[in-house]
Amino acid sequence: MPDGTPPRPARTLRTPEALHAAGLLPAGALAGAAAVAERYSIAVTPAVAALIDPADPADPIARQYIPDAAELVTAPHELEDPTADAPFTPVKGVVHRYPDRALLKPLLACPVYCRFCFRREAVGPDGGLLTEAELEDALAWFARTPEVREAILTGGDPLMLSPRRLGEILGRLAALPHIELLRIHSRVPVAAPGLVSEALAAALEAGKPLYLCVHANHAREFTPAAIGALGRLVRAGVVLLGQSVLLRGVNDSAGALEDLFRAMLRARVKPYYLHQLDPAPGTARFAVPVEEGRALLRRLRGRVTGLAWPTYVQERPAGGGKVPLGPEYPPAG
Ligand SMILES: *Cc1c(COP(=O)(O)O)cnc(C)c1O
Ligand code: SF4
């Protein structure tokens, strides 16, 4: 290239060398990133790579996905399974912590691997796909658990499944009389919008209301391609919600949060949850104290449409579940 800019990649980058060749990882960071790669998965899609400004060492998109040697340092308060899913797993691939809803994790692959992920010890491109027999066991559990009204597909990322496979799973769940709602948590619409084909959108028309919770942390993630993918989902009757994590260096200012929530609304996504960071190993560089999070949200109230407001939540340690964190206000009157 005449200006020395490396070419934009056509495929997902999965190694430190590939990131370096694409200009997204300086030579001096290669050794540290290689050590991280031995423990945690790496993936940067072409859509995400195109969003990164390689000249900005503090780029908020790069920070979410480019491995850093700091990930190998586990702080004393960090936990392997911060949300403590294991004790709430009646059969492989299912997590039942709350009475009326349960998670189904059909696979553990994602389009990208986020450096702050709370399931980072489990997610990855190989493994984690339920076998036919395991999926049957999981579906049989839903069939015999009538208090569960909502099936929440997560992972990994359920939109990484083929439309045929995803449609089959949703159809089986929707056919259960006690299942009233389907929900999917996904990063695909922003991280790999090309995967949201008409066939995938059609697979989501399972005959029961389907809520899709889009995970995005920065306004720039709502590109024209992402907005197009979300539009295809809306046309298939999907209700879109937004889920974000409060992250140091990504969205830890009132302006960045306002921009993020407004970008969601423009893309027909209603902000649902802003999560406090879960203490997964090696994620301390992303931590924002709760008091700071509350103060940031207080600065939006009144100035920004109420539609933009997510609930700020924290996962209690040791399986305590999600609790709202405020912000708190002086008493009314
Ligand atoms: C977060 C979570 C849910 C969904 O909770 P909502 O508050 O309904 O979004 C369900 N099950 C588990 C285990 C969860 O961690
Ligand atoms: S897409 Fe979700 S599950 Fe996958 S690495 Fe990112 S935060 Fe974790």
Binding-site residue ranges: 110, 114, 117
Shortest-distance atom of ligand 2 to CA 111: 1
pLDDT confidence bin for 1, thresholds 50/70/90: very low
- Encode pLDDT of 242-289 as tens digits: 999 999 999 999 999 999 999 999 999 999 999 999 999 999 999 999
pLDDT 10s digits, 89-130: 999 999 999 999 999 999 999 999 999 999 999 999 987 899
Q: What is the mean pLDDT of residues 148-177?
A: 97
Domain 86-324 part of CATH 2.60.40.180: no
Which ligand has the minimum distance to the alpha carbon of residue 96? 1
Instruction: Please report, in range form, the residues annotated as the binding site for [4Fe-4S] cluster.
Output: 110, 114, 117
Nearest CA-CA partner of 164 in 97, 106, 88, 114: 106
Q: Which ligand has the shortest distance to the CA of 107?
A: 2
Residue nearest atom 8 of ligand 1, based on CA coordinates: 101
CA of 165 to the centre of ligand 1 (A): 23
Give the distance (Å) from ligand 1 centre to CA of residue 84.
12
Question: Is the CB of 187 inside a 6 Å radius of any atom of ligand 2?
Answer: yes
- Please report, for the chain, the start and end positions of each structural domain, with discontinuous segments joined by +: 16-72, 86-324
Model pTM? Answer: 0.95
Q: How far is the CA of 168 from the centre of ligand 1 (A)?
A: 23
Give the residue-averaged pLDDT of 188-212. Answer: 97
Ligand nearest to the CA of 283: 2
